[in-house]
Structure 1
Amino acid sequence: MPTFARLALALLACMAIGRQLVLHVQGAYSVLNFFSYFTNLSNIAAVLVLLLSVLARGGGWLDRARYLSAVNMAVVGLVFAVLLRNTDLGGLLPWVNVVLHYVMPVAIVLDWVLRPPSTPLGPRLVGVALVFPTVYLVYCVVRGASIGWYPYPFLDPARAGGQGAVAAYAVGIAATFLAVGWALHRAGQRVARPGA
């Protein structure tokens, strides 16, 4: 992806997140709740990775960061399409929804697939991709049980159909992370430049 495109995507995502945050604050909603959405956290991380891709010379650490970002963003897009597309999104602006749930996931995944990593990545990275989502899940469940608020309906036992349903959703999403992580790892290995 050209440098201009990375900068434009980073700016677009920043505008979307910033605009929605302003509306969130104006509505007297919790700022911590805003930053408790996996979508927002993943898009913020994607912006940082895009900017690093422009500013840094690259290397194995940047390839790993790009991979992890691509996995998270791919799952953001898939989970939204499968579980949340027909859910009431409250005050989420339509254009912000399109940017964060459609444009950014597709762009970040394409950037990974079309721009090969400079070095081959070890298979352990697929497991590393599960660390942040696992920590996030624990945070949501513990905080949700404490304050009675969950960022997504499938994490809320009262809306999902009980603790068992939440566990089933968690297992399904974890399996999605593994499948996406494996597929993107294979894609990166397939196109990695030999000898780089």
Structure 2
Amino acid sequence: MNGSAYTGPGSAVHPLWGRALLLAFAVLDIAAAAWTATHLAAGGTLGNFFSYFTIQSNLIVIAVWLGVALFDPQGERWQLVRCAATLYIVITGVVYAVLLQKIAVGIQYPWTNDVLHRVTPLVALADWLLVPAAVGLSVRLIASLLAYPLVYGVYTLIRGPIVDWYPYPFIDPRDKGYVSMSIGLVFLVIAFVILAVAVAALGEMATRWRERRSAG
């Protein structure tokens, strides 16, 4: 998705071929999500399906990619949305790779699993690096980026006892109790902060590199 002119910290213009490529990946991601939703494991429900962070983060990325493909909007707020979407899907990819590869997460088909947990995070990160935006790096930014994962965690812990179901073992207090779970979640939050800083910093560094390249 390289080859476009970068015009400032609030602008990250995609070339037409890059927009077409993101549209293709958005369609692939939609197909994987739709296939998973219509081929749930035994006992699975749509309520549980949409309560996976994996599904929610993929839906966010799909919306962003469709926005880029159809309109490629500019402005600082939109670049913050792109940054957030990239962070959330990167969290999905990293958590899956580190904690969940050998655990059943309600996805029965290898191709959908690969698209939702591997392909989409890698494409989103590549898009962020090749068409970067300088969104700044501050405590306020990191806090705003992590607001959604925090709300998701609260939602999961409230919903879990009601439906007797939790999407992931690290946010399930039924076996190890709330103290052990809370300790694990603290380390997870620290990891999320690191990832948020990394995604924002990569946008800054890639932007500066492109500016130097254009100036040279």
* TM-score when normalising by structure 1: 0.90
| Partner Cα distance (2:199, 2:86) in 1 | 8
What is residue 155 of structure 2 aligned with on the other side? 139
Q: Which residue number in structure 2 is paired with residue 152 of structure 1?
A: 168
**CA deviations over 1:57-111 (Å, ceiling 9, x no partner):** 3221221111001111111011101110111345521111000000001110111
Q: Which SS does the other structure have where 2:108 is aligned?
A: coil
Structure 2 equivalent of residue 60 of structure 1: 76
Distance 1:34 1:180, change over 3 A: same
1:126-181 per-position Cα deviation (integer Å, ceiling 9, x unaligned): 1111100010000100111222110111111124x221221122212211211011
Give the greater-gyration-radius structure (CA): 2
The residue type paired with residue 103 of structure 2 is T
Q: 1:144 to 1:191 in 2, by over 3 A?
A: same
Distance 1:37 1:120, change over 3 A: closer
- 1:158 counterpart SS class: helix
Structure 1 position 192, deviation (Å)? 2.4
Aligned-partner Cα distance in 2 for 1:127–1:113: 22
Q: Kindly indicate whether residue 177 of structure 2 is the aligned counterpart of residue 173 of structure 1.
A: no
TM-score (norm 2): 0.83
Q: Secondary structure at the match of 2:165?
A: coil
- Report which stretch shifted further, 74-83 or 35-44: 74-83
1:4 Cα deviation from its structure 2 partner: 1.7
Paired position in structure 1 for 2:108? 92
Determine if the alignment matches structure 1 residue 12 to structure 2 residue 28.
yes
Task: Provide the alpha-carbon RMSD of the alignment.
Answer: 1.9
Alpha-carbon distance in 2 for matches of 1:184, 1:89: 26
Deviation beyond 4 Å, 4+ runs, structure 1: none
CA distance in 2, matches of 1:180, 1:90: 25
1:4-153 alignment, distance < 5 Å: 4-24=20-40, 27=42, 29-56=44-71, 57-117=73-133, 120-121=135-136, 123=138, 124-153=140-169
* 1:3 aligns to 2:9 (yes or no): no
Summarize the Cα distance change of 1:35–1:120 in structure 2 as closer, same or farther, 3 Å threshold: closer
Aligned 8 A contact 2:87 2:199 in 1: yes
| Number of aligned residues | 192
* Cα distance in 2 for residues equivalent to 1:90 and 1:10: 21
- Evaluate the alpha carbon distance shift between residue 120 and residue 162 of structure 1 in structure 2; reply closer, same or farther with a 3 A threshold: closer
Q: Is the 8 A contact 2:137 2:197 kept in 1?
A: no
Counterpart-to-counterpart distance in 2, 1:105 and 1:126: 19
Segment of structure 1 superposing worse, 167-176 or 71-80: 167-176
Identical residues among aligned pairs (%): 33
